[in-house]
Amino acid sequence: MRTAVSYLVRLTGAAAFVVPGPAWADAARDFEARVRPLLVAKCQECHGAKVAEAGVRLDSRRGLLQGGDEGPVVVPGDAGKSRLIAAIRHTGNVSMPPTGRLSDDEIRVLEEWVIAGAPWSGPGGDEGAPSPSRAEEMAERIATARAEHWAFTAPARHTPPDLAPTFPDDMREAWQAAPLDRFIATGLTAAGLAPAPPAAPRDLVRRLFYDLTGLPPTADEADAFCANPSAAAYLALVDRLLASREHAEHWARKWLDLARYADTMGYAFDAQSPLYPFAWTYRDWVVRALHADLPYDRFVTLQLAADEITPPVPREDLAALGFLTVGRSFLGNTHDIIDDRIDLVTRGLMGLTAACARCHDHKYEPISAEDYYALHGIFASCEIPEELPVIGDPPAGPEAEAFAQKLSELRQALTDHEAAVHVRGVREAVAHAADYFLETARPAKRGGDHRPPQLGDGYDLEQLVLDRLTRLTAKAEATHPILGPWAALRGLADGEIGPRLEALVAGWGEAPDPQSVNPLVRAEFISARPSTLRQLAEAYGRLVARVAPEWAGGTAPVPEEPAELATLRKLFGVEGSPFVVPRADAMRLALRGESTEHRRKKQEITKHFATAPGGPPRAMALVDREHPIDSHVFVRGNPAKHGPQVGRRLPQVLGGTAVDRNSSGRLDLARAIVDPANPLTARVLVNWAWTHHFGRGLVETPGDLGLRGAPPSHPQLLDDLARRFIDDGKWSLRWLHREIVTSAAWRQTSAGTAEALARDPDNRLFGRANRRRLEWESWRDSLLAAAGTLDRSRAGGPGVDPLALTSMPRRSLYGSLDRQDVPGIMRVFDVANPDTAVHVRSHTTVPQQSLAVLNSPLVVEAAKQVAARTAREAGQDPDKQIVATWRAVLSRSPTEAERMLARGWLAGIGDVPVPADFGSSERLAQAVLASAEFQFID
């Protein structure tokens, strides 16, 4: 019975008349006995003091009344208006609890309790301290985080302690000079450990080449260093490699991981090509910038705001904006695109996981939803220009002419298609003008999809035309010389229309004033005598047809037209009148097939830009919109639910400074990111570089320096290096690389002592080097280097097949990457997911990697080329061939034992038949290419 009452209450909201059942006579006891246990068991884990999902807390009465992002969750006495009840009944848009519906009894208890006025007793009742508002709470979290969290105060210089007396004497000299080394030594000594000895020269030179350039040394280069492994020779080699383009290419690829670079936008509808024809101009810009050692602050500023800088930057630098634009297109969903850019800038550059605040205040970090939408406004104030800016000259000659010629043809075809759609669309609208009139006055009942009706002949009324006609007729009064009769009669029943029209016509008299009725309208009515609304609409339809453009089935205006015809034409026949929709809106009238064709034609233009030779390079630029906007908070991330509007500014935790009002504010954003006082940027960058050099970060969550990120293993080292990177290094990445690879810490051997392995198995103290597997790009490049076919001379330009080895003997960096379909072999080798900023790739070991080593055409092809090379260099002598193979593949000569092993192997393999193009030298080459040594760096 009570259930029935409750139900009634929910429907009517007439709670005031319901007296709660006897169970609620002792509210305090009932609350404690029945309600509080339920709230504790089922709700408070997610809606309590520790976590407040959706901002809702169910551990105090105030929490119920204050509610969350969407208002109160309980209206005392009114179950129907209480969102809590809708949620547990699964009748609203939120169903709770997520672990499963409450039992019917439990639901009834809570419902009765709400109807009884949601009485509360004990802790959490009204007497308790008021819970702070969401904003106050956030402000406090931000203040606390800024005061207490290590990463939110600017890094300071630190002086490392001197080496401890227990530090091994033989390493003292090498370890005491650089601050970096003394920090590492301090950590090791404190743990009772000593550093590993320096790496052998041959290991060191190979490591250095791979680390700085992603390529192996040739055997001759390695021999030369081993012959003179002096400190001076090492420094000279470091400088030579740092200045090489190969170095810029190698580190550009790491930066491109962070920039979630790909050559396609992701999935595209029907005929569209997903290609970004000019993504490569961004990739090439990164290579050039690193090769020129562009200071990091400038490097970042150009990538965020090259277009806003005054005086204008050289046009080539606009390519830097690709950083923001080479992400996934999310089928054009603006808010997802913006979210991707916010994540890139905050997490990518600053290790701040702000994108979590899209739906609500960050649960852990001091980032509010307002902070998120303050950044949202910055990117919502930008757009990709219709035509990408040209950043270089087209190649001179006939190709460029052919390019321009073809481009204008394609553009003409697109215009022609739009014109044809326009003609067809308007012609059909004019032909159905009467139906439009009728629909405005007596709209047909619409289906659930709210589409305008379809007519008997299969024609769908166009909402666009309907809206335009409705706007025109709605404001016309009964005195309008053309639309007046329509306005006067359209609301009448059919039976009344004839007599009323007769009266109107009679009232006009024989020669009425053209100002009160247009003579053509009068003549039409006199000849047609419409007596139903349809007939009246048809009369107007004929008037429309009479003055519609000739190309739409009407008549062309003649010179000195009579005034009545001219006014009728002005109302119904000129472009911009209801039926003659503006040419610019033509595609809004398109049929499905016409839309597909339109996309296809646009696509041909994009494809032309992308593939036809002779076109100029362009930047994947971003520009500010004419009118920058501030975004509203989207409640729970829903763009349809606007919260307060937020001015464009930096996150509060970084000071909250407003950005320029007259532009999107990207330049101010960039400047704030690379401000020497910014606590995050330099730390993130230094940690990023360190991670790639050492195979393990000082902070092991390189994209998260927030409260939930990992604390640094060597905080003073990180801060000191970050500070010196700015102050001494002047943001030079080359300075930073040099600082690291010339350190004694980096030059240790990777062979750890048993004690070190036992005491520090994860090498968190950096007491040895970390052995690493080559990343995909280095591995493939090394196959080419071994084959002797790597083409180092060609740099830049549009991407090519990333798996080809013979047709594309270029570095893997120049492979085209389709984010929609990253080749399986590359994913298996852990290439970065191009949909999110990746600081460090994952490292897996799975048999598919080895399967590729054994059987992929890539390795088989490389083996053939290595064999061809060794045959050229060493002839047919097996011993010489073995030596040549080792030197080509492993950059060293074989040991005596290896030579004997290979010799014996060659002698014994003749009994199994093999094809002529994969004989013993090819098989030898593949066996060595497949070795662990080829794939790992000591």
Partner 1 sequence: MSCDHDSAHAPGLSRRAALHRTGLGLGWLAAAHLLDTGSRAAAAPAPPTSLATRPPHFAPRARAVIHIFANGGPSHLDTFDRKPRLEEYAGREIPTHLPTERRTGAALPSPFRFTRHGESGLEVSELFPAVARHADRLLVVRSMHADVPNHEPSLMLMNCGDARLVRPSAGAWVTYGLGTENQNLPGFVAMCPGGYPIKGPENWRSAFLPGAFQGTYVDTKKRSVEDLVQYVRHPLITPDAQRRQFDLTAALDREHLAARPHDPQLEARLVSMELAWRMQFEAGEAFDVSREPKHVLDRYGDDVQGRQMLIARRLVERGVRYVQVWHGEGQPWDSHEKLEQNHRRLAKESDQAIGALLDDLVGLGLLESTLVLWGGEFGRTPTVELPGSGTDVKEPSGRDHNHHGFTVWLAGGGVKGGTVYGATDEFGFKAVDKPVHVHDLQATMLHILGLDHTKLTYRHSGRDFRLTDVHGTVIKEMLA
Residues 93-122, interacting with partner 1 (CB under 8 A): 95, 98-101
**Sign of CA pseudo-dihedral 410, 416, 422, 427:** negative
Binding mask 725-764 for partner 1 (x = CB under 8 A): ------------------------xxxxxx--x-------
Residues in 760-789 that interact with partner 1 by CB under 8 A: 771, 773
Nearer to partner 1, 281 or 750 (CB): 750
Q: How far apart are CA 268 and CA 519, in angstroms?
A: 55
Nearer to partner 1, 483 or 882 (CB): 882
Listed residue (866, 879, 878) closest to 925, CA to CA: 866
Q: Going by C-beta distance under 8 Å and a sequence separation of 6 or more, which residues neighbour residue 264?
A: 274, 275, 276, 817, 818, 819, 820
Taking CB under 8 A as the criterion, which residues in 322-351 touch partner 1?
328, 330-331, 333, 336, 343, 347
Structure tokens at 120: 């509360």
Q: CA-CA distance, 461 to 112, in Å (whole number)?
A: 52
Indicate the SS3 state at residue 222.
helix
Binding region for partner 1 (CB under 8 A) out of 185-193, 520-528, 655-663, 835-843: 835-843
User: Structure tokens of 585?
Assistant: 């809106």
Distance CA 354, CA 369 (A): 9
Smaller CB distance to partner 1: residue 489 or 929?
929
Q: How far is CA 85 from CA 2, 37, 57, 64, 465, in A?
A: 16, 17, 15, 12, 45
Site for partner 1 in 40-79 (CB under 8 A): 53
Residue 816 binds partner 1 (CB under 8 A): no
- How many angstroms separate the CA atoms of 3 and 568, rounded? 67
For residues 843 and 872, which CB has a smaller minimum distance to partner 1 in the complex?
A: 843
- The answer to whether 420 contacts partner 1 (rule: CB under 8 A) is no
Question: Minimal distance in Å, beta carbon 483 to partner 1?
Answer: 28
Question: Least distance in Å: CB of 592 to partner 1?
Answer: 5
CA gap 687, 697 in Å, rounded:
6
Q: Which of 226, 313, 487, 610 binds partner 1 (CB under 8 A)?
A: 226
User: Residue 595: exposed, middle, or buried by beta-carbon count in 10 A (0-12, 13-18, 19+)?
Assistant: middle
The residue within the footprint of partner 1, chosen from 312, 509, 857, 875 (CB under 8 A), is 857
Q: Which stretch binds partner 1 (CB under 8 A): 251-259, 671-679, 721-729, 915-923?
A: 915-923
Task: Please tell me whether residue 695 adopts helix, strand or coil conformation.
Answer: coil
State in angstroms the smallest separation of the CB of 530 from partner 1. Answer: 29
User: Taking CB under 8 A as the rule, does residue 935 contact partner 1?
Assistant: yes
Q: Which is nearer to partner 1, 229 or 512 (CB)?
A: 229
- State the amino acid at position 12 in one-letter form: T
Among 176, 244, 470, 833, the residue binding partner 1 under the rule CB under 8 A is: 833
Residue type, 504: L
Measure the CA–CA gap between 930 and 913, rounded to whole angstroms. Answer: 21
Q: Which of 401, 416, 728, 821 binds partner 1 (CB under 8 A)?
A: 821
Pattern 585-604, binding to partner 1, x per CB under 8 A? ------xxx-----------
Work out which of 384, 476, 860, 871 binds partner 1, going by CB under 8 A.
860
Smallest separation (angstroms) from partner 1 to the CB of 358: 10
| Dihedral of alpha carbons 151, 156, 161, 163, sign | positive
Q: Which is nearer to partner 1, 330 or 557 (CB)?
A: 330
Question: Would you count residue 584 as binding partner 1 (CB under 8 A)?
Answer: no
**DSSP notation for 142-154:** HHHHHHH-GGGS-
Closest by CA position to 545, among listed 509, 581, 576, 572: 572
Among 469, 483, 853, 874, binds partner 1 (CB under 8 A): 853
Among 156, 420, 584, 846, binds partner 1 (CB under 8 A): 846
Select the residue interacting with partner 1 from 44, 281, 716, 836 (CB under 8 A). Answer: 836
Nearer to partner 1, 566 or 927 (CB): 927
Stretch that binds partner 1, among 107-115, 179-187, 478-486, 827-835 (CB under 8 A): 827-835
Residue number with CB closer to partner 1 (16 or 912): 912
The DSSP letter of residue 917 is G
Q: Which of residues 613-652 bind partner 1 (CB under 8 A)?
A: none
Residue among 38 and 825 whose Cβ is closer to partner 1: 825
Q: Would strands 631-634 and 642-646 be described as parallel, antiparallel, or unpaired?
A: antiparallel
Site pattern 497..526 for partner 1 (x: CB under 8 A): ------------------------------
Closest by CA to 859, choosing from 910, 935, 772, is: 935
Kindly state the smallest distance separating residue 402's Cβ from partner 1, in Å. Answer: 34
CA distance 29 to 113: 12
What are the C-alpha distances in Å from 427 to residues 71, 512, 538, 551, 584?
52, 33, 16, 8, 16
Residue 872 C-beta-side C-alpha neighbours within 13 Å: 9
Rank residues 360 and 693 by Cβ distance to partner 1 and give the closer one: 360
**For partner 1, which is the closer residue by CB, 334 or 415?**
334
Specify whether the CB–CB gap between 117 and 126 falls below 8 A.
no
User: Interaction with partner 1 in 265-304: which residues (CB under 8 A)?
Assistant: 266-267, 269
Q: How far is the CB of 828 from partner 1 (least distance, A)?
A: 6
Q: Does 901 bind partner 1 (CB under 8 A)?
A: yes
With contacts defined by CB under 8 A, name the span among 138-146, 354-362, 537-545, 876-884 that binds partner 1: 354-362
Measured CA to CA, the distance from residue 846 to residue 851 in angstroms comes to 9
The answer to whether 931 contacts partner 1 (rule: CB under 8 A) is: yes
The residue (of 510 and 917) whose beta carbon lies closer to partner 1 is: 917
CB of 374 to partner 1, least distance (A): 18
Residue positions counted in the chain: 938
Task: Single out the residue of 101, 76, 105, 73 nearest to residue 89, CA to CA.
Answer: 101
**Residue 840 CB, nearest approach to partner 1 (Å):** 12
> 293 in the Ramachandran plot: left (φ > 0), alpha (ψ -120 to 50) or beta?
left
Least Cα distance to 200 among 170, 236, 225 occurs for 225
Site for partner 1 contains 611 (CB under 8 A): no
* Binding range to partner 1, per CB under 8 A, among 607-615, 739-747, 871-879, 903-911: 903-911
Residue 855 binds partner 1 (CB under 8 A)? yes
- Residue 830 sits in the site that holds partner 1 (CB under 8 A): yes
Site for partner 1 in 155-214 (CB under 8 A): 197, 199-203
Residue whose CB is less far from partner 1, 584 or 757: 757
Give min distance, CB of 865 to partner 1, in A: 14
What letter represents residue 568's amino acid?
L
* 8-state DSSP, 460: B
User: Residue 364 Cβ, how far from partner 1 at the closest point, in Å?
Assistant: 8
Residues near 431 by beta carbon (within 8 Å), at least 6 away in sequence: 545, 553
Give the interface size with partner 1 as a residue count (CB under 8 A).
116
Smallest Cα–Cα separation from 251: which of 213, 301, 279? 213
Nearer to partner 1 among residue 703 and residue 798 (C-beta)? 703
Alpha-carbon distance values, 763 to 161, 324, 748, 760 (Å): 21, 36, 12, 5
User: Between the CA atoms of 652, 658, 663 and 666, what dihedral angle is there, to the nearest 10 degrees?
Assistant: -40
**Shortest Cβ 616–partner 1 spacing (Å):** 32
Query: Which two structure tokens, joined as six digits, stand for 752?
Result: 């750890």
d(C-alpha 628, C-alpha 645), whole Å: 14
Contacts with partner 1, 439-478, as mask; x by CB under 8 A:
--------xxxxx--x---xxx-x----------------
